[in-house]
Amino acid sequence: MAFSRDPLDELVVPDGTEAKEVDLVTDGDVLVGARSTIDFGVRGRNVLAGESVEFGGAIEAEGDCRLDMWCDVAENVLVGQDAYIGERVHVAGEMKVAGDLDIGDDVEIEEGFEANGWIVIRNPMPTIVLLFVYLKHLLLVGEEDTAQRLVSELVDEEGDAQPDVEPLVIPRNATVSDDAWRVSTPATIGDDCRLHGNVRAETIDVGTDTTIFGSLRARGDVTVGEGTRIHGDLTTRDGDVTIEPNARILGDVSCNDLELGPEAEIDGTIRADGEITMGTTERDPE
């Protein structure tokens, strides 16, 4: 994954991500910006959260888990490698760590914890804050290659690298629930995803063969990929909408300009202040 700016300045839902019952499940890492509320539990490779993040379910990390200070987890935390827990973190369930546990002051784990490796009690979590501050500084001064190496070392360490798997990135101050995904940043949703909730973002780009049980609303442009199904309205305040071939909107569409690909369908009312362009299916020569 190549970064050209602060990686927490955009909602990124990688290919194949699913909302399964009470969990968000992804094959890659999970990065959550500070002061966000995630009503789901999360399951991924490495899980990293900034300060004051609230999780409404359990955390299951195949690799490492890093929770900054004042995070709150409503259920268990299960970690396949090492865990780094900041001060004043609250876990309503139990914590099980297969590797080392580095834990800060005033941490409350209601049902106890165990670790197979070393247990160190201190305050390690400025590491998370320092990481993102340093990363942002590298990007500001144009050191994109150095920033990329830093992220690669963090995410793909010790031979467990999966460079083709993008992380799930939830920006700062976001709210993610069955009801709505609310961010004040652009949102990119990958291919073959299955999500529940209305998506609210600056701009929205949805990949192919994805299903969203909710509406899309943005200030700017919205793109819906080929074969995707949106079970709700699609609205943009100031932008254009592109609906690619075989996509279907099971609701109304409101926008400036509208581009419809071949065999794209809109089940509701179209309100377009500008132009409507409709593609046609090319016929094979006889």
Coil vs helix vs strand at 111: coil
Q: Residue 139: pLDDT band by 50, 70, 90 thresholds?
A: low
Greater model confidence, 141 or 248: 248
The pLDDT of residue 124 is above 50? no
Q: Which pLDDT tens digit goes with each residue over 76-91?
A: 999 999 999 999 999 9
Q: Is 54 left (phi over 0), alpha (psi -120 to 50) or beta?
A: beta
Confidence (pTM): 0.82
Can you give the pLDDT at residue 158?
46
Q: 3-class secondary structure for the chain?
A: CCCCCCCCCCEEECCCCEEECCEEECCCCEEECCCCEECCEEEECCEEECCCCEECCCEEECCCEEECCCCEECCCEEECCCEEECCCCEECCCEEECCCEEECCCCEECCCEEECCCEEECCCCHHHHHHHHHHHHHHHCCCHHHHHHHHHHHHCCCCCCCCCCCCEEECCCCEECCCEEECCCCEEECCCCEEECEEEECCEEECCCCEEECCEEECCCEEECCCCEECCCEEECCCCEEECCCCEECCCEEECCEEECCCCEECCCEEECCCEEECCCCCCCC
Q: Residue 122: pLDDT band by 50, 70, 90 thresholds?
A: low
Closest by CA position to 82, among listed 103, 100, 107, 102: 100
Q: Residue 2: pLDDT band by 50, 70, 90 thresholds?
A: very low
Ranges of each domain in the chain: 8-176, 186-278
Greater model confidence, 26 or 6: 26
Q: What's the mean pLDDT in 213-234?
A: 97
Q: Residue 112: pLDDT band by 50, 70, 90 thresholds?
A: very high
Can you give the pLDDT at residue 148?
66
Greater model confidence, 139 or 170: 170
Q: Residue 154: pLDDT band by 50, 70, 90 thresholds?
A: low
Rounded CA-CA distance 91/70 in Å is 10
Q: What's the mean pLDDT in 183-188?
A: 96
Q: Which pLDDT tens digit goes with each residue over 16-66?
A: 999 887 899 999 999 999 999 999 999 999 999 999 999 999 999 999 999
pLDDT above 90: percentage of residues in the chain: 71
Can you give the pLDDT at residue 143?
67
The dihedral over CA atoms of 194, 217, 136, 45, expressed in degrees to the nearest 10, equals: -10
At residue 131, φ and ψ (nearest 5 deg) are: -55, -50
Greater model confidence, 123 or 145: 145
Average pLDDT along the chain: 86
**Eight-state DSSP code of residue 283:** P
- Helix H segments across 51-202? 126-140, 144-155
**Eight-state DSSP code of residue 58:** -
Q: Is 272 exposed, middle or buried (0-12, 13-18, 19+ CB in 10 A)?
A: middle
The pLDDT of residue 156 is above 80? no
Rounded CA-CA distance 250/173 in Å is 29
The pLDDT of residue 187 is above 50? yes
The pLDDT of residue 282 is above 80? no
Greater model confidence, 178 or 202: 202
What is the end-to-end Cα distance of the chain in Å, rounded?
44
The pLDDT of residue 132 is above 90? no
The pLDDT of residue 126 is above 50? no
